[in-house]
Amino acid sequence: MGHTLNDYWAKGSNVINDLLAVLIRFRQESIALAGDISKMYNAIRLSPLDQHTHRFVWRNLETHRDPDYYALLTVTFGDRPSGAISTLALHQTAKMYQHIYPDASKMVIRNSYVDDILQSVESVDNARLITQQTEKMLACGGFRIKPWIISGNEKCGSTLQSQDSGESVEVDLDEFAHEKILGMRWDPKQDLFDFKVKINFSPKSKNVRKGENITKSQIENSVPTSLTPRMVLSKVARVYDPLGLATPYTLAAKVLMRKLCIENNTNDKTKVNSRWDYAMSAESRLEWIAFFKELFDIEQLKFHRCLKPDNAVGDPMLVIFSDGSKLAYGTCAYVRWGTAHGGFESRLVIAKNRIAPTKQMSVPRLELCGAVLAARIRQKLVEEMDYKFSRVIHIVDSMIVGAQIQRELWIRHICCYKGSRNSK
């Protein structure tokens, strides 16, 4: 076997921002903007020494002559450290011009994820100003940004900044009906998050499905008779939901997948076959058909991108719920705003769930695990969000868990399992 440079190169430290933190900050203010750096890797020039390690020969299939020698001059996709190099170069550019463009520098350092830049601001004027500053700042480092997408209504949502012309360009946002923002579907015109279900059991040809996606009414007749765990897992994995907005659906899929794993371990006939490629039982197949039918209902869900209502006043309150059952435990966090009319409005920030272990555990213990998950979510939100919360409230659906958390000198009185989780 031969050797390549990637065998000896270090990958570099993980300098990419936390995806969840970037998405949460993207939801803070009323106007959202999203930008994409064009050909980010190729904007970074290699040193002369590194250029010689990227030599290659080419003669355009002209076998009668000697090949020509070429060298790559920029960072190349596929090099092991290219991800760390590009992110460090982007952040270093922002730091170098921080004294000139402080707001743009902060946005790039905190709210960029690889070549995507996300930000939320209070007004369209602020959005236009910070996009112009960001373009000028990154141009000093050799980076170019594709047209920005600014959310809002028809008036403010149709303006995209163009670096090529240096002027604002009026663009119909119907062309950007749904943008992928770090994998999530975002409608910039209505400023909403939503989901799209794509289920297709047809065979692949060159990694492309031959048939069309099936609809809800076609599920029963389109699901293969020999349905395997690999098939259903590939369909469930297409529901990308880092914020947990579709937790009721993804959790149901986890419970069904665990049932398949138990079925595989207890059925002697399946031990000969692959763990993922055996035909599940008729009962399990019917359960998955029912799940896929319900999964299409997720397309009806719409979530506000912005966590702050238009008529919000004062600082918000952070309310975190947690609960547990024999099947799973989880938590969800809401921001609760006071409104100018004297009422209140709450919006879901994030939800997380964990499936219960196969080893039998008591419900109070699982509820305690949910409370621990809630504490971690609270710490994450308080650290990453720019909101100043007037109050943080944890709500648990168990008097036992509430008493354990509030109990003084718990180390002396309760077991190690509960004590370690109460300490968190």
Sort residue 38 into left (φ over 0), alpha (ψ -120 to 50) or beta: beta
Report the CATH number that the domain containing residue 36 is assigned in CATH.
Answer: 3.30.70
Q: Which residue in 361, 394, 391 sits closest to 376, CA to CA?
A: 394
pTM of the entire structure? Answer: 0.87
Clarify whether residues 36 and 144 are in a common domain: yes
Q: What is the pLDDT of residue 156?
A: 40
Clarify whether residues 265 and 336 are in a common domain: no
Between CA 41 and CA 219, with CA 180 as vertex, the angle to 5 degrees is 130
pLDDT (tens place) for every residue of the chain, 424 residues total:
678 888 888 888 899 999 999 999 999 999 999 999 999 999 999 999 999 989 999 998 888 999 999 999 999 988 999 999 999 999 999 999 999 999 999 999 999 999 999 999 999 999 999 999 999 999 999 999 999 999 874 434 434 444 444 554 445 555 556 788 999 999 999 999 999 999 999 888 888 888 889 989 899 888 999 999 999 999 999 999 999 999 999 999 999 999 998 887 766 554 545 778 888 999 999 999 999 999 999 999 999 999 999 999 999 999 999 999 999 999 999 999 999 999 999 999 999 999 998 888 888 889 999 999 999 999 999 999 999 999 999 998 877 777 777 664 455 455 555 555 555 5
Q: What is the pLDDT of residue 173?
A: 52
Clarify whether residues 130 and 9 are in a common domain: yes
CA dist 116 and 118 (Å) reads: 7
Report the CATH number that the domain containing residue 396 is assigned in CATH.
Answer: 3.10.20.370
Clarify whether residues 43 and 146 are in a common domain: yes
CA dist 253 and 135 (Å) reads: 43
Clarify whether residues 15 and 113 are in a common domain: yes
- The number of distinct structural domains making up the chain is 3
Q: For residue 160, what are its two tokens?
A: 């995209």
Q: For residue 265, what are its two tokens?
A: 């371990």
Clarify whether residues 108 and 45 are in a common domain: yes
Clarify whether residues 289 and 316 are in a common domain: no
Which of 267, 300, 333 is where one domain is finished? Answer: 300
Q: What is the pLDDT of residue 414?
A: 53
H or E element at residue 89 = helix 82-96
**Range(s) of the domain holding residue 395:** 307-418
Clarify whether residues 315 and 295 are in a common domain: no
Q: Is 156 contained in some domain?
A: no
